[in-house]
Amino acid sequence: MQETPINFEEAFKIADQVIFAKTGKHITDIEMMIFRGAWQDKTYEEIAENTEYAANYLHRMVGKDFWQRLSDSLGEKVSKKNFKTALERHWKATLNNSQTGGESLLKTEGWVTPETLKGPILDCSEGSVPLDSRFYVHRPPIEARCQVAIAQPGALIRIKAPQQMGKTSLLDRILEVARTANYHTVTLSFDLADSTVFADLRTFLQWFCASVGQLSGLPNQLSNYWDDIFGCNNNCTVYFEEYILSQLATPLVLALDKVDVVFEHPEIASDFCRLLRAWYDIARRSDRRGDIWKQLRLIVVHSTEVYSALDINHSPLANVGSVFPLPEFTALQVQDLAQRYGLNWDTEGEVRQLMSAIGGHPYLIRKSLDFLCRQPMTLDQFSQIAATEAGPFSDHLRQHLWNLQHHPELAAAFRDVVMANKPVKIPSERAFKLYSMGLIQLHDNNVTPRFELYRQYFSVRLAVN
């Protein structure tokens, strides 16, 4: 009988089991992210896309340690290049032993048999949720409205929210619908732009034009369309209008991810936002030019944390296109997701207890459920470590702390909020920026910490000595 090649779920389960048998610790979320990316033959640069991690960190720090642990657990040298073969070889040996009635290697080495591969195979809770994942939570009517909007000629969709609210996961699903409609789709993440790209507007827009063209399968023709006397925004417009859009037989859905990276360069961001506004306005026209620009549908995705460094009176892309802020999960959605994770929460009490600490924040909810699956404990025990450095949210909390430390006036305002036992009033500009960072809730003219988790963590970290 011909043996079926090992699949991802079986391979991951084996890797997790042998590492646990050797070390007493399961594969972590970030290690799973590397494992999944390596399984898909991605480079570390590709794995790092849509995450908060640098490729070099994943490669030199996390990846190096992970492959060494897997090598020690399997008893042979394993790397990113050969781990599939190693795991498949051990898997086949296990199958042969079980079929011949021999003593299973799994029993002696802490492995599990194919029959014991039960329970949910967990996604990595870092980064976007894969398209085929059963852990994606639909948030109606957001998905349906985005699908309707992207079908409109000349559409411009803006997806904005604090980090880790599910922006890229939603974007992936909008693009999948667009591909199903036979639209040409291109995703450009500004995380890919290094510091040289932001030297000046000319360099940035030439990189932008060349990148979109390259991702569309078109050779670089900037020398034929760029004339400095006409200005950068006009040159970029001509390049799209006369070259990129004219070469495509179907509408182009251009997704611009991590646009907040551009906002960190105010002089470039100002002109770039005016450019996107101009394209949107041209598409509203009823002439030949308008017909050309109706073929372009823009999706602009950005985190709102960047507002902490911006003038709130000059908000980027204000009043342009259709805006889709992302809501938190509801209690019913959390209950459903807990069941998908295999947690036996038969009452609403567990959901209420979890949400009393972290609300319906998508990343924090997924992180919690993932943690509780891998490290079984009661919710009371979980609550004791949630706001500590040993808890599952430490990276998330430290990122917020880092942002606050770089804006002392916001740190001081937020300290007043977390130290108070009732809603307090703070200056409106600071309230707007803290809200945009996802740290507070608004109650008319007063504010409170967004989550009890934040109150517990930041009341200690921001306390005045």
Instruction: Give DSSP secondary structure letters for 388-447.
Output: STTSTTHHHHHHHHHHHHT-HHHHHHHHHHHH-SS-B---HHHHHHHHHTT-EEEETTEE
Question: Using alpha carbons only, what angle is made at residue 141 by residues 135 and 145, rounded to the nearest 5 degrees?
Answer: 110
Question: Is-contact 236 242, C-beta < 8 A?
Answer: no
- Shared domain for 151 and 300, answered yes or no, is yes
- Shared domain for 103 and 242, answered yes or no, is no
Residue at 335 is within a domain: no
pLDDT tens sequence for the chain (465 residues):
344 578 888 888 888 888 888 777 778 777 888 998 999 999 998 888 866 677 777 888 788 889 998 998 888 888 999 999 888 887 777 666 544 444 443 333 443 343 444 455 566 667 788 888 889 999 888 999 999 999 999 999 999 998 899 999 999 999 999 999 999 999 999 999 999 999 999 999 999 999 999 999 999 999 999 999 999 999 999 999 999 999 999 999 999 999 989 988 999 999 999 999 999 999 999 999 999 999 999 999 988 877 655 555 556 677 889 999 899 999 999 999 998 888 888 678 999 999 999 999 999 999 999 999 888 789 999 999 999 988 999 999 999 999 999 999 999 999 999 999 999 999 999 999 999 999 999 999 999 999 999 999 999 999 875
Of 367, 361, 356, which is closest to residue 333 (Cα–Cα)?
A: 361
Tell me what pLDDT residue 208 has: 98
3-state secondary structure at position 298: strand
Alpha-carbon distance 414 to 405, whole Å? 11
Residue at 134 is within a domain: no
Residue at 390 is within a domain: no
Query: Tokens for 169?
Result: 């996961």
CA distances for 234 relative to 193, 231, 241, 278, angstroms: 22, 6, 10, 10
- Shared domain for 193 and 313, answered yes or no, is yes
- Shared domain for 166 and 305, answered yes or no, is yes
Range of the domain at 83: 8-116
Query: Tokens for 161?
Result: 């929210």
Question: Is-contact 410 434, C-beta < 8 A?
Answer: yes
Helices (H), strands (E): how many in the chain? 24, 7
Residue at 314 is within a domain: yes
- Boundary (domain end) residue, out of 325, 344, 377: 325
Tell me what pLDDT residue 118 has: 45
Residue at 333 is within a domain: no
- Shared domain for 177 and 109, answered yes or no, is no
3-state secondary structure at position 154: coil
Which residues is 302 bridged to in the sheet?
160
Tell me what pLDDT residue 316 has: 62
Of 215, 174, 169, 164, which is closest to residue 192 (Cα–Cα)?
A: 215
- Boundary (domain end) residue, out of 69, 101, 116: 116
Provide the domain count of the chain.
3
Residue at 425 is within a domain: yes
Determine how many CB atoms are found less than 10 A away from the CB of residue 159: 25
CATH number for the domain spanning 427: value is: 1.10.10
